[in-house]
């Protein structure tokens, strides 16, 4: 009959259900793979940020200069020392002048970041803070340890602090506890040599 309504057969309903399940599984797998890839990218970026922070600290400690007005000073959670800067950052701009500056590393516990500041020599007498920037985010704790070679014998002698006027340490050990992308904590330790201390 031409005016009679016809419903779907059981076979047609089953085919529609199979198609919907197949499409749903494909979409789920694609989304799941995308989220896994995104997590991996974030993990690699976080590891790269840590490597860059350690490279910057190594570079700075490699430029330590002996300068009596700005001494090498180190505490458990802060570090400050004079450097001979090849190019000097002034308000975010890099100048080509070679000059003495003070580089400082400290922890901002409120924002959970490791900060690096660079202050021109002439500004250190004004107690002015130099150009400060965030070196590493998601830092739970930073700890600096200082090691010197003894005048006689072998091994290293640990010092908890270094005061202005003390001998420059031969090594600085940096211990970082950072929060990873998956909310777990990673402890990273690196021993950095201070080349100028060899001549003491």
Alpha helical stretches, state H, the chain = 10-62, 121-124
| Pairwise CA distance, residues 182 & 110, whole Å | 21
**pLDDT per residue over 55-91, tens digit each?**
999 999 988 888 767 888 899 999 999 888 766 555 5
| Pairwise CA distance, residues 163 & 75, whole Å | 8
Report the chain's terminal Cα–Cα distance, integer Å.
108
Residue 28 — φ and ψ, nearest 5°?
-60, -45
The alpha carbon torsion through 129, 135, 141, 145 (nearest 10 deg) reads -80
Q: What is the pTM of this model?
A: 0.70
| Pairwise CA distance, residues 194 & 83, whole Å | 11
Q: Which of 63, 72, 49 has its CA nearest to residue 139?
A: 49
Domain boundaries, the chain: 44-199
| Pairwise CA distance, residues 74 & 171, whole Å | 12
**pLDDT per residue over 125-181, tens digit each?**
666 566 788 888 888 899 999 998 887 777 888 888 888 878 889 999 999 988 876
């Amino acid at each position: 009959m031409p005016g009679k309504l016809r419903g779907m057969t059981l076979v047609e309903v089953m085919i529609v259900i199979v198609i919907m399940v197949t499409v749903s599984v494909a979409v789920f797998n694609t989304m799941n793979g995308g989220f896994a890839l995104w997590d991996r990218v974030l993990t690699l970026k976080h590891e790269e940020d840590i490597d860059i922070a350690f490279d910057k600290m190594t570079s700075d400690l490699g430029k330590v200069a002996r300068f009596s007005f700005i001494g090498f000073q180190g505490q458990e959670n802060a570090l400050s020392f004079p450097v001979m800067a090849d190019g000097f950052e002034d308000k975010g701009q890099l100048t080509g002048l070679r000059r003495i500056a003070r580089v400082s590393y400290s922890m901002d516990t409120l924002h959970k970041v490791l900060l690096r500041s660079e202050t021109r020599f002439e500004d250190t007498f004004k107690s002015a803070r130099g150009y400060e920037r965030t070196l590493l985010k998601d830092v739970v704790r930073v700890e600096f340890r200082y090691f010197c070679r003894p005048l006689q014998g072998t091994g290293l002698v640990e010092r908890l602090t270094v005061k202005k006027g003390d001998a420059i340490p031969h090594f600085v050990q940096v211990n970082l506890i950072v929060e990873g992308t998956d909310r777990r904590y990673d402890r990273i330790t690196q021993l950095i040599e201070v080349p100028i201390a060899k001549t003491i």
